[in-house]
Amino acid sequence: MQVDVVVVGGGAMGSAAAWQLARAGRSVVLLEQFEAGHHIGASHGATRNFNTAYAEADYLDLLAESKILWDELAAEHGAPLLDMVGLVNHGNVPRLREVREAHEARGIESYFISPDEAANRWLGMNFATDVLFVPGSGRIRSADALVALRKSAEAHGAVFHYSTPVLDIRIDGAESVVVVTEEVEYTASRVVVAAGAWTNKLVSKHVKLPALVVTQEQPAHFTPRDNTLVWPSFNHSPDPDPNNEAYEYWYSPVYGMLTPGEGVKAGWHGVGPVMDPDERTFEPIPHQMEALVRYAEEWLPGVDPSTAVPISCTYTTTPNEDFVLDHFGPLVVGAGFSGHGFKFTPAIGRVLKDIVDGGMAPERFHAER
């Protein structure tokens, strides 16, 4: 079967690429190995942080574009996808000062408040340092976003096939790639691979990418003690002073947000066990979960720490946590998004579309040649 573009991977980034390509007039087939709405990868779950606390120009550019595109997608979908509840950043104040300077230079609203003022404003949280609050941040309705991306892509002519594993990808020339499934072989001028933890399994024989490390992460939802409490989204870094013993049990920075109907989500960032995505245990590491419960006891007085409900997902990360957005002949790859990529989803879809059309991503996101 001949199409303009085959997209491999039906998570957030693959769906966004299909949406952008289809609305640009390309014929698109998306192939996803699991069923729609599965919980085996990195894109499931009801919420993600929409966090603009970056100082790097490339990321701030993508964030500005993503906000516009999220709103466009929401308009097509007919329901909101962003909840601008604000986001508090605390812990590593020197880094937050860099972020604030970058925000000021771009006219992004953010401001510091004292720990006492923050604790009085958000009674469910404790603070030990000044807090950088970003009102124009919050959370993404991520499960709704996946549905919206698919429906909008299909409305523009894209075809999504779930439960359709890709068995092989063959590059037959500068303008020809064959994607093999059990039932059909698709021939396209370009193939976009946005397969998360399965990226290396699909493309390693064709391309050399930065190391993509797949880990199984285990955040948890905690039940709020009082449903009247106001919850911003949050990112909390440990004190950069290595002599501060209060943070010795921490594994990494902590992120979190209220997931309506499920509780307050909190999790360590990128410190789960390295794992083959096809050999997941879906079970939390006991000592990491114990430390997360201790974090909730010490820093989230608005939740009941004993109510932790573990969640399991995969991270696929590069050594410096920058994304990979690049092409290798007719093969286009988007990878390494886990931990902070979801907020950029619609803009990443646009970048992947541009690469298909002969453009380039910012140099930060190029694979090493």
Q: Residue 352 is part of which domain span?
A: 1-82+139-210+319-369
pLDDT at residue 43 in the model: 84
**CATH number assigned to the domain comprising residue 49:** 3.50.50.60
Q: Is the pLDDT reported for residue 244 higher than 90?
A: no
Same domain assignment for residues 184 and 131:
no
Q: Is the pLDDT reported for residue 368 higher than 60?
A: yes
Same domain assignment for residues 284 and 191:
no
Same domain assignment for residues 193 and 226:
no
pLDDT at residue 242 in the model: 82
Same domain assignment for residues 163 and 308:
no
Same domain assignment for residues 173 and 307:
no
Domain count along the chain: 2
87-130 pLDDT per residue, tens: 999 999 999 999 999 999 999 999 999 999 999 999 999 999 99
Same domain assignment for residues 277 and 338:
no
Same domain assignment for residues 239 and 197:
no
Question: What average pLDDT does this structure show over 47-52?
Answer: 95
Q: Which of 285, 301, 317 is the last residue of a domain?
A: 317
pLDDT at residue 171 in the model: 94
Question: What average pLDDT does this structure show over 38-63?
Answer: 93
Q: Which of 275, 298, 317 is the last residue of a domain?
A: 317
pLDDT band at 15 (very low <50, low <70, confident <90, very high): very high
Same domain assignment for residues 313 and 176:
no
186-225 pLDDT per residue, tens: 999 999 999 999 999 999 999 989 999 999 999 999 999 9
pLDDT more than 70, % of the chain: 100
Same domain assignment for residues 247 and 311:
yes
Q: Which of 295, 317, 339 is the last residue of a domain?
A: 317
pLDDT at residue 243 in the model: 84
Same domain assignment for residues 299 and 201:
no
Q: Is the pLDDT reported for residue 141 higher than 60?
A: yes
263-306 pLDDT per residue, tens: 999 999 999 999 999 999 999 999 999 999 999 999 999 999 99
Same domain assignment for residues 286 and 194:
no
314-360 pLDDT per residue, tens: 999 999 999 999 999 999 999 999 889 999 999 999 999 999 999 99
pLDDT at residue 342 in the model: 96
Question: What average pLDDT does this structure show over 135-150?
Answer: 97
Three-state SS annotation for the chain: CEEEEEEECCCHHHHHHHHHHHHCCCCEEEECCCCCCCCCCCCCCCEEEECCCCCCHHHHHHHHHHHHHHHHHHHHHCCCCEECCCEEEECCHHHHHHHHHHHHHHCCCCEEECHHHHHHHCCCCCCCCCEEEECCCEEEEHHHHHHHHHHHHHHCCCEEECCCCEEEEEEEECCEEEEEECCCEEEEEEEEECCHHHHHHHHCCCCCCCCCEEEEECCEEEEECCCCCCCCEEEECCCCCCCCHHHCCCCCCEEEEEECCCEEEEEECCCCCECCHHHCCCCCCHHHHHHHHHHHHHHCCCEEEEEEEECCEEEEECCCCCCEEEEECCEEEEECCCCCCHHHHHHHHHHHHHHHCCCCCCHHHCCCC
**CATH number assigned to the domain comprising residue 240:** 3.30.9.10
Same domain assignment for residues 43 and 54:
yes
